[in-house]
Structure 1
Amino acid sequence: MGRLRVAPAGQTGRRNWLGLPAGTVRPALVADALRRAVAAGWRPEQAGAAFALPEAA
């Protein structure tokens, strides 16, 4: 099993306990996050701790 990638989506999730406005996670958002993670050094084929992709500036 490879490494897990964790990336902020800039929106609330299914467990939106605060009632904040929520958006939709679309394939383009996921693809962009994957490209940025690989560019930042994420290697999904390598075992190890979760890789946290920082919020885009």
Structure 2
Amino acid sequence: MILLGEVMLEKRKDGEYGVMGKGWRKGEGVLLGVGIGTGRIGGREVGVVWGGFMEVMGKVM
């Protein structure tokens, strides 16, 4: 959707598309940061609680 907003900005030269794309970029940055943080925490918890499972899955990955 961000790419669509940027393409429409270039095609139609309408500043509203730029504002829309900028808002989406900020939102995506926040979601990415939260996702990375929770993923690292979740991976650590799984490794601690189910050590045997992670030993097997580590070899598979």
TM-score by length of 2: 0.32
Specify the structure having the higher radius of gyration (Cα): 2
TM-score by length of 1: 0.34
Q: Higher relative contact order by CA 8 Å / sep ≥ 6: 1 or 2? A: 1
Of Structure 1 and Structure 2, the greater helix share is in 2
